[in-house]
């Protein structure tokens, strides 16, 4: 009888322990203190519900941390402490082909908080392909080739970030892909990288850099961008490089970009903004230019594009360049320069200019 009681008690205890194990809540935070530990946890996130990683390390990162296409938890937040000293790219995710990209681009957000990354003039802090809601906020990215490089990305968020001395661009966003049979590379109508938002961003390009911000075949909205480059350190080619021409002339992608607030304290060899468009709208709501005489915007359009510039400050120091396909609406600050004058335009003044007080 006593033996039966012991067996019964053991069975009950085992059952309770099993229930506690299988029904206990999942671990909410995983910790890593070396790049190798971080890579292992990121790899495990494909099969385990890992929602948060706390990475506390200033160890040199000699190879990229590879992120899986699918995440068991559906997302992954990475909280960073220390310095991310990188020999190349810090974080990398790229689907192998367009079929894989189509299956993951509308989910699986990866978010980075508090980065303090230093590169060696190559790679990026993060190069991500086919993702929804990629986020980087509250940090600084310095000394890479491209600070952040996104491909085929929807609803990315870049918030309260500094990009300093990156040798090609601070931020590069491309609606196409960097993989086999990628859509968007040839300007197809289903290119993505739409609806990115940028708030409280400061970009200081490296001397000789291509640009501060690059946007290729993407519908992208921005808010509160500040771009600076001290004259004593040299110049870059463009402050903003925007190419939305699409080689596919039948592309149905919405061709539109809006900048809410631009502040230029920068000298550029070519122009502060290069805008190549295929129809659509290019809008700037509030813009301040601090440095001396240079070309503000060099705009070309295949088809008809409406360029709308609102709240232009110190515009007498800069000139515009446009072609016959552009329709211009300019709203200068009261008492500012009259941009309808031919001397305010490089080359032939476009025929379609409206100035509003």
pLDDT in tens, 182-202: 765 444 445 555 778 888 899
State the pLDDT confidence band at 334, using cuts at 50, 70 and 90: low
| Proportion of the chain above pLDDT 70, given as a percent | 82
d(CA 300, CA 269): 18
Task: Report the pLDDT value the prediction gives residue 235, as an integer from 0 to 100.
Answer: 79
Task: Report the pLDDT value the prediction gives residue 2, as an integer from 0 to 100.
Answer: 56
Res 77 pLDDT > 50: yes
Return the domain boundaries, the chain: 79-278
Summary mean pLDDT of the chain:
83
- Tokens representing 340? 């309808």
List the 268-277 sheet strands across, edge first. 65-66, 91-93, 126-132, 146-154, 169-174, 213-216, 236-244, 268-277, 294-301, 318-321
State the pLDDT confidence band at 25, using cuts at 50, 70 and 90: very low
Res 239 pLDDT > 60: yes
Task: Report the pLDDT value the prediction gives residue 199, as an integer from 0 to 100.
Answer: 86
Res 159 pLDDT > 90: yes
State the pLDDT confidence band at 178, using cuts at 50, 70 and 90: confident
Region 53-63 average pLDDT = 97
Res 123 pLDDT > 50: yes
Region 2-20 average pLDDT = 53
- Tokens representing 117? 């990354």
pLDDT (tens digit per residue) in 289-315: 887 778 999 999 887 889 999 887 766
Res 142 pLDDT > 90: yes
How far is residue 288 from each of residues 146, 276, 312, 315, measured CA to CA in Å? 25, 22, 6, 8
Task: Report the pLDDT value the prediction gives residue 36, as an integer from 0 to 100.
Answer: 97
Region 126-151 average pLDDT = 94
Higher pLDDT, 257 or 172: 172
Higher pLDDT, 129 or 119: 119
CATH number for the domain running over 79-278: 2.160.20
Task: Report the pLDDT value the prediction gives residue 6, as an integer from 0 to 100.
Answer: 53
Q: Look up residue 208 and give its DSSP letter.
A: T
Task: Report the pLDDT value the prediction gives residue 166, as an integer from 0 to 100.
Answer: 95
Task: Report the pLDDT value the prediction gives residue 245, as an integer from 0 to 100.
Answer: 77
With left for phi above 0 and alpha for psi between -120 and 50, is residue 163 left, alpha or beta? beta
Beta strands in 267-337 (DSSP E): 268-277, 280-289, 294-301, 305-313, 318-321, 326-332
Task: Report the pLDDT value the prediction gives residue 185, as an integer from 0 to 100.
Answer: 47
353 Cβ contact partners less than 8 Å away, ≥ 6 residues apart? 328, 330, 339, 340
What's the predicted TM-score (pTM) here? 0.86
Res 47 pLDDT > 80: yes
Weakest mean pLDDT among 32-36, 156-160, 265-269, 270-274: 265-269
Task: Report the pLDDT value the prediction gives residue 30, as an integer from 0 to 100.
Answer: 97
Region 243-260 average pLDDT = 70
């Amino acid at each position: 009888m006593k033996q039966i009681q012991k067996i019964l008690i053991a069975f009950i205890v085992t059952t309770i322990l099993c229930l506690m194990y299988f029904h206990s809540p999942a671990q909410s935070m995983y910790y890593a203190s070396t790049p190798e530990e971080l890579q292992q946890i990121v790899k495990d996130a494909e099969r385990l519900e890992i929602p948060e990683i706390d990475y506390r390390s200033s160890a040199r990162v000699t190879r990229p941390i590879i992120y899986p296409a699918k995440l068991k938890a559906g997302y992954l937040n990475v909280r960073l402490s220390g310095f991310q000293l990188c020999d190349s790219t810090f974080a990398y995710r790229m689907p192998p082909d367009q079929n894989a990209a189509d299956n993951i681009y509308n989910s699986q957000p990866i978010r980075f908080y508090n980065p303090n990354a230093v590169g060696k003039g190559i790679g990026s802090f993060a190069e991500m392909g086919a993702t929804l809601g990629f986020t980087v906020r509250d940090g600084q990215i310095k000394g890479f080739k491209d600070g952040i490089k996104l491909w085929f990305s929807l609803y990315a968020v870049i918030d309260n970030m500094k990009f300093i001395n990156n040798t090609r661009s601070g931020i590069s966003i491309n609606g196409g892909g960097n993989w086999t049979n990628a859509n968007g590379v040839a300007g197809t109508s289903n290119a993505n990288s739409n609806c990115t938002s940028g708030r409280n961003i400061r970009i200081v390009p490296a001397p000789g850099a291509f640009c501060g911000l690059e946007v290729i075949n993407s519908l992208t909205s921005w808010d509160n961008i500040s771009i600076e480059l001290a004259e004593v350190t040299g110049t870059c080619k463009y402050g903003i490089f925007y190419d939305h021409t699409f080689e596919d002339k039948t592309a149905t992608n919405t061709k539109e970009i809006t900048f809410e607030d631009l502040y230029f304290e920068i000298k550029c060899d070519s122009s502060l903004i290069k805008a190549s468009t295929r129809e659509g709208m290019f809008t700037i709501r509030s813009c301040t230019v601090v440095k001396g005489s240079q070309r503000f915007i060099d705009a070309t359009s295949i088809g008809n594009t409406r360029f709308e510039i609102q709240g232009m400050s110190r515009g007498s120091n800069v000139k515009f360049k446009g072609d016959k396909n552009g329709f211009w609406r300019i709203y200068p600050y009261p008492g500012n320069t009259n941009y309808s004058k031919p001397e305010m335009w490089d080359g032939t003044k476009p025929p379609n200019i409206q100035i509003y007080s």
